[in-house]
């Protein structure tokens, strides 16, 4: 927050100043710069912070949390425009008294030049011991919000199916605990891979036969749309979605590109994995639907929507 504010003071006077959250201390910097520069301030809202802190149990209700919530509302009100990544976030803000006319929705998207259908990377297949395996891949943060221990429990249910492997790629606060849990459970069908450079992510996704997208069972996550959905679509992967029913599950239903299971239910997740494993025709149908849906969520298309929202603001000022 402080370093970006100081650096921003030395930049030429912009037309607009955008701050992105979470967390919103960076947004504080953007707002302060907008005051000094006398330019419109845009709040780009990617998560309901600090509500997400409370949802994952990182912080309990306290004076500090309530103070952060007051700061959050202050920043929403100060913003000349708010650009939200979900319609649910917009509804939430309107319910909290924020003017809906200044809120635009631009969802996450996918770079279709980078993420597209491709053959499994042969070198990575050997490196991670995945030849001739049916790979269920979770790619992303191993954090408190993701309940990845349920994936390990699912792997335990399916350990007798030697062809099925769960691939967990990424880093996060829970990764060490998950590694230890998998070792304690003696799971032969789980592979952990550390975070990979961005340029290698398409090859990582290529290893997967199915993309698994998961969050813990908390009502807050009804409003979340994980960006992994769109990367999975770009790669033409069938999706298994395991999170509270809401905006993300509506996308999967509308696009007909995967299965939806209740969050934190290992038996249901295991049944969904077996369904796709045993039904290659269903996988192919979902794969084709995912590839078709990716076009409407391309980064280019979302950037055009973002630019339109910003142009409206500059025209008004």
Whether pLDDT at 64 is above 80? no
Residues 208, 204: Cα–Cα separation, whole Å:
8
Mean pLDDT of 146-160: 96
What mean pLDDT comes out for the span 29-55?
Answer: 82
Residue 110: phi and psi, rounded to 5, are -135, 140
Taking domain 122-297, whether its CATH number is 3.40.50.300 is answered by: no
What is the pLDDT, as a whole number, of residue 17?
93
Could you tell me the pLDDT band of residue 60, with boundaries at 50, 70 and 90? low
Instruction: Report pLDDT for 61.
Output: 65
pLDDT in tens, 161-179: 999 999 999 999 999 999 9
Domain boundaries, the chain: 2-109+298-316, 122-297
Q: Once rounded to an integer, what is the mean pLDDT over residues 296-306?
A: 91
Residues 7-36, mean pLDDT to the nearest whole number = 89
Band (pLDDT 50/70/90 cuts) for residue 88 is: confident
Q: What is the pLDDT of residue 317?
A: 65
Tokens representing residue 274 in the block: 């077996």
Q: Tell me if the domain spanning 2-109+298-316 has CATH number 3.40.50.2000.
A: yes
Identical fold between 2-109+298-316 and 122-297: yes
Instruction: Check residues 223 and 114 and name the one with the higher pLDDT.
Output: 114
SS3 (DSSP) at 169: strand
pLDDT bin (cut points 50, 70, 90) of residue 50 is low
Could you tell me what percent of the chain has a pLDDT over 90?
71
**Mean confidence (pLDDT) of the chain:** 91
187-244 pLDDT per residue, tens: 999 999 999 999 999 999 999 999 999 999 988 788 888 989 999 999 999 999 999 9
Q: What is the mean pLDDT of residues 309-313?
A: 88
Place 63 in a pLDDT band, splitting at 50, 70 and 90.
confident
- Residues 83-96 as b/e (b if ≥16 CB within 10 A, e otherwise) read bbbbebbbbbbeee
pLDDT in tens, 119-139: 999 999 999 999 999 999 999
pLDDT at 145 (0 to 100): 86
Q: What pLDDT score does 203 carry?
A: 96
Confidence of residue 52 (pLDDT cuts 50, 70, 90): low
Q: What is the pLDDT of residues 284-299, one digit of tens each?
A: 999 999 999 999 899 9
For every residue of 238-274, DSSP letters joined together read -EEEES-SSHHHHHHHHHT-EEEE-TT-HHHHHHHHH
């Amino acid at each position: 927050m402080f370093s970006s504010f100081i650096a921003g003071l030395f930049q030429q006077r912009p037309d607009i100043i955008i701050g992105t959250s979470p967390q919103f201390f960076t947004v504080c910097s953007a707002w302060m710069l907008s005051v000094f520069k006398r330019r419109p301030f845009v709040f780009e809202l990617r998560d309901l912070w600090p509500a997400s802190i409370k949802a994952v149990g990182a912080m309990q209700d306290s004076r500090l949390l309530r103070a952060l919530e007051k700061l959050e509302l202050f920043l929403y009100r100060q913003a000349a425009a708010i650009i939200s990544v979900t319609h649910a976030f917009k509804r939430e803000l309107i319910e909290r008294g924020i003017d809906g006319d200044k809120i635009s929705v631009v969802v996450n998207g996918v770079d279709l030049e980078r993420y597209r259908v491709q053959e499994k990377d042969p070198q990575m297949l050997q490196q991670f011991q995945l030849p001739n395996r049916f790979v269920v891949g979770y790619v992303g943060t191993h954090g408190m919000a993701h309940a990845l221990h349920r994936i390990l429990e699912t792997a335990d249910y399916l350990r007798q199916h030697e062809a099925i492997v769960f691939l967990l790629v990424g880093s996060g606060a829970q990764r060490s605990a998950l590694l230890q849990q998998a070792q304690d459970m003696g799971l032969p069908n789980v592979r952990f891979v550390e975070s990979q450079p961005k340029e290698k992510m398409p090859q990582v996704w290529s290893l997967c036969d199915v993309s698994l997208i998961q969050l813990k069972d908390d009502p807050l996550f009804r409003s979340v749309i994980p960006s992994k959905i769109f990367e999975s679509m770009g790669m033409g992967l069938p999706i298994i979605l395991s999170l509270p029913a809401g905006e993300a599950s509506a996308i999967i239903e509308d696009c007909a590109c995967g299965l939806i299971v209740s969050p934190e239910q290992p038996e249901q997740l295991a049944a969904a994995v077996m369904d796709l494993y045993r039904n290659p025709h269903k996988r192919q149908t979902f794969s084709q639907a995912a590839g078709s849906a990716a076009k409407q969520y391309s980064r280019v298309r979302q950037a055009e929507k973002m630019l339109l929202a910003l142009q409206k603001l500059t025209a008004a000022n």
